[in-house]
Structure 1
């Protein structure tokens, strides 16, 4: 299935939702018709080896996902702090790993506010003890993020959130000497994609 996006089109098919935390990452999945997002899996965050990122990419490949939605936590005023930067960095890691795996699956950052709070409340109302919340709250939050995104896509008839793009490829080999960072310059300026 072609997952190429234009201004008024969004990919149709199975999608994954991702709730990024410092300790755990929650995953959710929706049906091919994009009707219902369901909690799917919780994986431990591995900031050193990023094995959790590879788990998500593997799930995307195995399930034929057409899009990955990553929640971007903002404050109620719309500001971004450390958790939002973490989500952006995680989305960058996902894009890079998808590229390495040869998968053309778009990754979108979608504004999410209070999804974890809502997930805790829903679990409490369902009769689950607070002690047991930890096991599933991240995937329930991921389902909330994904449901919000697929509902927006259907309501608008266009894609939701902002697409995360891979960093621009390096300069051609003929200009290799210019890639060397000059003393005192920012060594990251030419190696990092633009932030959304």
Structure 2
């Protein structure tokens, strides 16, 4: 199945991988090609993420991923933090490393929602710690898919829309 693109160049069909980027762990979730169901995929180490291009290229091949969504931490007042800048750097790197479109999407409350879902499901504290980032990525992906349906267009912003903070400095 060939993926079609919207006016921004983001694929309108095919599997999307959502990334909940953290300084220790990276949660990954993936949806089906029709973007109806999403599932937690795995938790991957964030240590030396700049050296992990092969991991993401293998993920693309194994799961037929056409695009990525990376959670962007935003304060309640809409402001951004140092963590937001790190997520933007990661998303830009991911786009360049994989050649896939990467969309940044507001991740407010995804970890809290994931924690609530896991508590209701009866996860033990130890199992919850191992899986929380993948479930947070699932919440992010579900929110992104729903926002796209509601708006009738791709939600969020491209990882390549803004230059890097240190780009262009001498």
Q: TM-score, normalised by structure 1?
A: 0.76
1:82-112 deviations in Å (ceiling 9; x for gaps): 221111111011012113xxxxx21000111
Q: CA deviation at 1:2?
A: 3.8
Q: CA RMSD in A?
A: 2.5
The residue aligned with 1:118 is 113
Give yes or no for contact 2:74–2:106 (8 Å, CA) kept in 1: yes
Give yes or no for contact 1:26–1:142 (8 Å, CA) kept in 2: yes
Give yes or no for contact 2:11–2:67 (8 Å, CA) kept in 1: no
Choose 25-34 or 118-127, whichever is displaced more: 118-127
- For the pair shown, the structure with the greater C-alpha radius of gyration is 1
d(CA) in 1 for partners of 2:62 and 2:9? 28
d(CA) in 1 for partners of 2:48 and 2:9? 36
- How many residues align? The count is 167
The residue aligned with 1:183 is none
Q: CA deviation at 1:62?
A: 2.6
Give yes or no for contact 1:18–1:68 (8 Å, CA) kept in 2: yes
Choose 80-89 or 22-31, whichever is displaced more: 80-89
Q: Which of 134, 148, 161 is the aligned partner of 2:143?
A: 148
The residue aligned with 1:189 is 168
The residue aligned with 2:30 is 29
1:129-163 deviations in Å (ceiling 9; x for gaps): 22221110000000011111111112222111111
Give yes or no for contact 1:10–1:157 (8 Å, CA) kept in 2: no
Give yes or no for contact 2:27–2:135 (8 Å, CA) kept in 1: yes
d(CA) in 2 for partners of 1:119 and 1:48? 23
Choose 22-31 or 62-71, whichever is displaced more: 62-71
Q: CA deviation at 1:8?
A: 10
Whether 1:107 and 2:102 are equivalent positions in the alignment is yes
Structure 2 vs 1, CA of residues 66 and 166 (structure 1 numbering), >3 Å: closer, same or farther?
same
Give yes or no for contact 1:19–1:141 (8 Å, CA) kept in 2: yes
Structure 1 unaligned runs (5+)? 100-104, 169-186, 192-196
d(CA) in 2 for partners of 1:166 and 1:9? 13
1:8-66 deviations in Å (ceiling 9; x for gaps): 97521111010000000000000111011110011101236532x43123212332222
Structure 2 vs 1, CA of residues 29 and 83 (structure 1 numbering), >3 Å: closer, same or farther?
same
Corresponding residue SS for 2:116: helix
